[in-house]
Amino acid sequence: MEKITVLSCTNRNDSMTRRVSLYYLNALKKEGVDVQLLDFTILPRDIAFSEVFGQRSESFTQLINTYVTGVHKFLFVTPEYNGSFPGILKVFLDSVHPKEWTDKKACLTGVSEGRAGNLRGLDHLNGVLQYLKINVYHNKLPVSVVSKIISPELELLNPDTETVIQNQIKGFIKF
């Protein structure tokens, strides 16, 4: 079975995105998947200026090797920022050489407090990932009103959300 990296795509501490990402991490482990979490809070603070265009540090190179290079599947959990996805995610994608993404697979989950679950941001991210030649799984899941969906203990409070997440996970494993 292929390794999956779950990406918690915000650098905000104690975010709902991190909670949902941890839920996915635990759910994938229960499915017997070799999975790891890349929490964007560990990214360098000056990533846009220090880790791109041939100026990569050894520690960032190791991060890319661990979470991207040897991995074939990625599950992006991304919050809505201004009607799209966070700039830190775009900077991260730009800091990795495009060849590292080619022919790999991605699954997308959007989270927001609003009613659309970052649907627009998922569409934007889908376009960027396809440009990078990543195969995007068709079941993109928008999670709306996220603070009422998941508890601090990482329990889903809505059985319907649990069902759709489980279906998404099982489909992505087979993808």
Reported in sequence order, the residue ranges of 40-103 that DSSP labels E, i.e. its strands, are 73-79
Q: Distance between terminal CA atoms of the chain?
A: 11
Please give the pLDDT value at position 160.
92
Handedness of CA 157, 159, 164, 168 (dihedral sign): positive
pTM attached to this predicted model: 0.95
d(CA 106, CA 175): 9
Nearest to 120 by CA among 142, 146, 87: 142
- Per-residue confidence band for 45, with pLDDT thresholds at 50, 70 and 90: confident
pLDDT digits (tens, 9 = 90+) for 100-140: 999 999 999 999 998 888 999 999 999 999 999 999 999 99
Helix, strand, coil shares, percent, the chain, to 5: 45, 20, 35
For the domain spanning 4-174, the CATH number is 3.40.50.360
- For residue 8, how many other CB atoms are within 10 A of its CB? 26
pLDDT tens track for 68-84: 999 999 999 999 999 99
Rounded to whole angstroms, the Cα distance separating 119 from 142 reads: 6
